[in-house]
Amino acid sequence: MPWSTSPQTTAAASAVALVVERIRYLVTNAHAVHHASLLELQKPSDDLKCLARVLCQGPDCDLALLELVEEAPGFWEGVEPLSLSEDLCHLNDRVRVCGFPVGGENISITEGIVSRVEMQPYRHGLGSLLAIQIDAAINPGNSGGPALDAQGRCVGVAFQSLQDADNIGYLIPAEVLRHFLSGYRRCGGYAGFGHHGFAWQPLDNRALREAVLRQNGAGVAGLAGGVLVKRIEPTSPANELLKEQDVLLSIAGRPISTGGTVHFRRGERIAFPYITSQRCPYDTVECEVLRDSKVGTMLVGHEADVEWGDLFEERSPVCLAEPWLRNIRSFQDEEVVVLSCVFASALTAGLTHFMNRRLHRCNGVQVRNLQHLAELLDTATTSTIWFALDDDDVIALPTEQARATTRLVLETNLIPAARCLPTPK
């Protein structure tokens, strides 16, 4: 927001040096470097700060790769990269969390035990991925720091804690780290995590389950598990194969219970989206589906989740949170276009109360994305430009006067350009 008069702020986080397949990486959390204009690295044993940049950022897994802008002499001296653990933590395993939390400047090491391993929502991203819950405190500044097992291997990276609870923190497991790094090696950027692309409902209720099975022509006692496919994202690869009211029976050969879980480890179960999260976008996974009294097997593709800001669902207006929560696009290039604010001017007097409103149409045409809106404004030949917002509110501005006022508003608020859009492919 170039018109903001708020002062610049700084933040500190932790990072970890890793070696995977004989390649050295420097990893931290994505939320620690999100929107950063300047990054500096400092070793705990050195006052020298070195400039760094983000090499790759994964918003949904909250991980980022860093590299030095210029190789600083001696920076890597005495730094021994950690190796990633090949095993996923088990309950009651003891771990040590290293980092630089608030309260001091020297490195801090806390110890705790693993209390839970399951799918958890990642606050920085949209979806849920595997996470390790521990009882060691994770405070601001710990983000990006490693968690070590008894052999000194990195079992995960600290990234968030549970609010309004004591000593409940979460680690990004080594399994997720390895997926992130292997994707970067394979494609030179962020590869992402698979997503099943449909909404589902448990069939724990006996009456509902029997009704759904009868609707699909199956015997009530014939099948012991499965969940109901209730909605499919129009742009998801699953849309070509699945249908609403299908019953998903198994995925990747693992039977799905009526509660939506599959076998995980000995004596443990986990939500079935864990299977798709282990794959990359547009990989395929074999699914067993009940439809019209027939049980069929199909290969369903995945697509990636998208990033939204921290705590967006808690703080945003309903009109903006609703498409985020549903996570459904009506067409491939659809974007939610938002009127964030109206700058004060003689032309906009009486309109400055409009803030954070979704823009639906411009001159009667549905706005597909921000690039499309720019094209509609550039080619407008009518004397008045009409904007249709959510809640049926409208804004009307005289076309030529609006264009002239735009130039004045830019100068007044020290904004160098009216737009900064990517070049269309």
Which residues are identified as catalytic? 31, 62, 143
Percent helix, strand, coil in the chain, to 5, is 20, 30, 50
Query: Ramachandran region of residue 98, left (φ > 0), alpha (ψ -120 to 50) or beta?
Result: beta
Are residues 182 and 175 in contact, defined by beta-carbon separation less than 8 angstroms? no
| Rounded distance between C-alpha atoms, residue 363 and residue 2, angstroms | 28
Are residues 14 and 145 in contact, defined by beta-carbon separation less than 8 angstroms? yes
* Residues 6 or more apart whose Cβ sits within 8 Å of residue 132: 89, 114, 116, 117, 147, 155, 156, 170, 171, 172, 173
Closest to 148 in 3D by CA, of 168, 129, 134: 134
Q: Based on the number of CB atoms within 10 Å of its own CB, is 229 exposed (0-12), middle (13-18) or buried (19 or more)?
A: buried
- In DSSP notation, 132-191 reads EEESS---TT-TT-EEE-TTS-EEEEEEEE-TTSSS-EEEEEHHHHHHHHHHHHHHSS--
